[in-house]
Amino acid sequence: MVPEHPYPGVSDGLFMTSRDGIHWDRRFMEAFVRPGRDRENCTERNIGLACGILPTAPDEISVYWQEHVRHPTARLRRGALRLDGFVSVSAGYGGGSLLSKPLRFAGKELVLNYATSAAGSVRAELLDASGRPIPGHRLEESREMYGDEIEVVVSWRGGSSVAAWAGRPVRLRLALTDADVYSLRFRA
């Protein structure tokens, strides 16, 4: 029940993306920041996100939003996220996987930003463009990764180099068990 107020309305902070600042994509329909239990946020224009994302630690970014709009306690609130922590590919204890479209990369290593439960894990596999696992980079050869890491190089039994496949179309499969993968990249 929302309290009676001369400025009724409830707002959520939304996550939208744009490459040019003109055309926007709202692919993620869930609220990014919710009003929460604080009744002073259950009036119009609250939870409006401020412009900008700031790095506040080597592994942290901060976002800011307005609260208590039109109240004497109006304020700006800070929320801290892990680096690249806006969205993730996620799987529960039962597991799940992600299979990318064919892609071309530059670099020698695959780097992941992920978090798992104590019983969770992430493994990676490279496949050729037609979907056949690449020997030396198969899922069963992947080192099982667990914990909470911002930047970890994926490795297989034979090492971590993916340089032989740079510039060629490949697909990437990630197998997750009670885990989130926030970002991936290839680096030199």
pLDDT single digits (tens) 49-102: 888 889 999 999 999 999 998 889 999 999 999 999 988 999 999 999 999 999
Query: Token pair for residue 52?
Result: 């900008």
- Specify the CATH class of 89-187 in words: mainly beta
Evaluate the CA torsion angle 131, 182, 157, 118 in order and state its sign: negative
List the one residue out of 127, 128, 129 whose CA is nearest residue 138: 127
Residue 160, pLDDT > 80, answer yes
pTM: 0.84
User: CA geometry: angle at 94 spanning 88 and 100, to 5°?
Assistant: 45
- Report the SS3 class of residue 96: strand
- Domain-by-domain residue ranges, the chain? 1-86, 89-187
